[in-house]
Amino acid sequence: MAIMDRRTFFGISAAGALAAASTTLEGKVPEAIKDFVKDKSLKIKFMGTGSAGGIGKNGLGRRHSSILVNDDFIIDFTDDSLDMIPAGVHPETIFYTHSHKDHFQPSAALKIGIKKVYLSHSWYDIAVKAFRQAATEAGAAMPEIIPTYFGMDVKVGDVTVTPLLANHPTDYIYEEAQIYLIEKDGVRLLYATDTSGIPGKSARHIGIDKHREGYGINALIMEATSSDPDDFRLYCHSSTDIVEKTVRVLLKTDRLHMPEGQKVYITHMSRKLHPKNINETLPEPLRAAEDGLEVIFRAP
Ligand SMILES: [Zn+2]
Ligand SMILES: [Zn+2]
């Protein structure tokens, strides 16, 4: 297949074909293009898009928020999403945003064979203790636990992950919850859960505040725990209006520069705090992610 053909394919896909579920691509795109898409893009599978309530016993909720990046590593994981790992995929690396139980569950990580764990140095001791206990109980090997620091990137294969600061308190006063910049092949995706807005220090580091020239990110997944602007969780979570404002400002000033047709996905939604027809209530380019949704991000 000639390179030209591939370019033509991308030329006609502006309406967001690549931002659609990759299962569509799997079904219709010739082998050579599939490889190209895989090589020059970043694939995210939402393995959970809910808040602390999770899927619940009645199965009506959303699984705890968790993503699979490029079929290679995971950010946050609990028992809720055990059924979400694709067949034949065996991620061995996990990042944890913070210690809350809807994100951090060592026993679940051990069940799927995680061998490498990255989390903020600020709660390293707590995490080591929790993993040691879970490993003893499960009779599993203790994974390697590696402390991370603000702005110091971590490479996993050909993906670069930069830990950033979240605005999200936990039970441990010294713990710093993290959001992440995830980069591959020119894609700069900010994955921001759990956090109330984007802290200035993180915004500056990734180039989306007023002091930088040019765009800082070209893809965004952000939490919206509730849809009520007056929700009391104002100081630890975002609501849809916070995401709307963030996106409006970043797009207007070209600090978020997305390919045509690409959406901003919201996650970490509480079933009780959002309407059922959530996508009908969101303005463009916002979309509520769904458990199991796969999105292919590419650079503009
Ligand atoms: Zn949470
Ligand atoms: Zn939390």
The pLDDT tens digits of the residues spanning 70-81 come to 999 999 999 999
- Is residue 265 located within the same domain as residue 125? yes
Alpha-carbon gap, residue 134 to 141, rounded angstroms: 10
Strand partners, 253: none
Number of domains in the chain: 2
Per the structure block, which two tokens stand in for 149? 């620091």
- Contact of 278 with 270, CB cutoff 8 Å: no
Q: Flag whether 183 is in a domain.
A: yes
**Span from the CA of 99 to the centroid of ligand 1 (angstroms):** 9
**Span from the CA of 62 to the centroid of ligand 1 (angstroms):** 12
**Span from the CA of 194 to the centroid of ligand 2 (angstroms):** 5
Instruction: For residue 252, give the CATH number of its domain.
Output: 3.60.15.10
Percent of the chain scoring above 70 in pLDDT:
86
Strand partners, 274: none
Per the structure block, which two tokens stand in for 116? 């490498």
Which residues touch 269 (CB under 8 Å, ≥6 apart)? 49, 50, 51, 62, 224, 225, 278, 288
- Contact of 192 with 223, CB cutoff 8 Å: yes
Q: Is the confidence at residue 204, as pLDDT, over 70?
A: yes
Q: Are strands 73-75 and 66-69 parallel, antiparallel or unpaired?
A: antiparallel
**Span from the CA of 287 to the centroid of ligand 2 (angstroms):** 21
Q: Flag whether 63 is in a domain.
A: yes
Query: Any idea which ligand is nearest the CA of 225?
Result: 1
Q: Is the confidence at residue 30, as pLDDT, over 70?
A: no
Q: Is the confidence at residue 297, as pLDDT, over 90?
A: yes
Q: How many CB atoms lie within 10 A of CB 257?
A: 18
Query: Any idea which ligand is nearest the CA of 166?
Result: 2
Percent of the chain scoring above 90 in pLDDT:
83
Q: Which domain holds residue 23?
A: 1-6+17-40
Q: Flag whether 12 is in a domain.
A: no
- Is residue 36 located within the same domain as residue 152? no
Q: Are strands 187-192 and 219-223 parallel, antiparallel or unpaired?
A: parallel
Q: Residue 38: pLDDT band by 50, 70, 90 thresholds? A: low
What is residue 8's predicted lDDT score, i.e. its pLDDT?
A: 35
Query: Any idea which ligand is nearest the CA of 168?
Result: 2
- Is residue 166 located within the same domain as residue 31? no
Q: What is the mean pLDDT of the chain?
A: 89
**Span from the CA of 101 to the centroid of ligand 1 (angstroms):** 8
- Is residue 71 located within the same domain as residue 170? yes
- Is residue 73 located within the same domain as residue 210? yes
Q: Residue 35: pLDDT band by 50, 70, 90 thresholds? A: low
Q: Flag whether 136 is in a domain.
A: yes
Which residues touch 8 (CB under 8 Å, ≥6 apart)? none
What is residue 240's predicted lDDT score, i.e. its pLDDT?
A: 97
- Is residue 2 located within the same domain as residue 132? no
- Is residue 151 located within the same domain as residue 284? yes
- Is residue 177 located within the same domain as residue 101? yes
Which residues touch 75 (CB under 8 Å, ≥6 apart)? 66, 67, 69, 94, 95, 96, 97, 180, 191
What is residue 267's predicted lDDT score, i.e. its pLDDT?
A: 98
- Is residue 28 located within the same domain as residue 97? no
Highest mean pLDDT among 30-34, 38-42, 259-263: 259-263
- The region of weakest confidence among 41-55, 152-166, 197-211 is 197-211
- Is residue 29 located within the same domain as residue 48? no
Q: Flag whether 11 is in a domain.
A: no
pLDDT (mean) for 155-180? 98
Which residues touch 9 (CB under 8 Å, ≥6 apart)? 29, 33
| Residue 95: closest CA among 169, 38, 158, 153 | 153
What is residue 211's predicted lDDT score, i.e. its pLDDT?
A: 75
Query: Any idea which ligand is nearest the CA of 99?
Result: 2
Query: Any idea which ligand is nearest the CA of 270?
Result: 1
Q: Is the confidence at residue 14, as pLDDT, over 60?
A: no
- Is residue 28 located within the same domain as residue 133? no
- Is residue 50 located within the same domain as residue 28? no
At 218-267, the pLDDT tens digits run 999 999 999 999 999 999 999 999 999 999 999 999 999 999 999 999 99
Per the structure block, which two tokens stand in for 281? 């209530």
Q: Flag whether 163 is in a domain.
A: yes
What is residue 28's predicted lDDT score, i.e. its pLDDT?
A: 52
| Residue 81: closest CA among 258, 281, 267, 277 | 267
At 96-123, the pLDDT tens digits run 999 999 999 999 999 999 999 999 999 9
The C-alpha torsion from 16 through 17 and 20 to 23, rounded to 10°, is: -170
What is residue 31's predicted lDDT score, i.e. its pLDDT?
A: 55
Cis geometry, peptide bond prior to residue 285 (ω within 30 degrees of 0):
yes
What is residue 215's predicted lDDT score, i.e. its pLDDT?
A: 79
pLDDT (mean) for 193-205? 97
**Span from the CA of 72 to the centroid of ligand 2 (angstroms):** 24
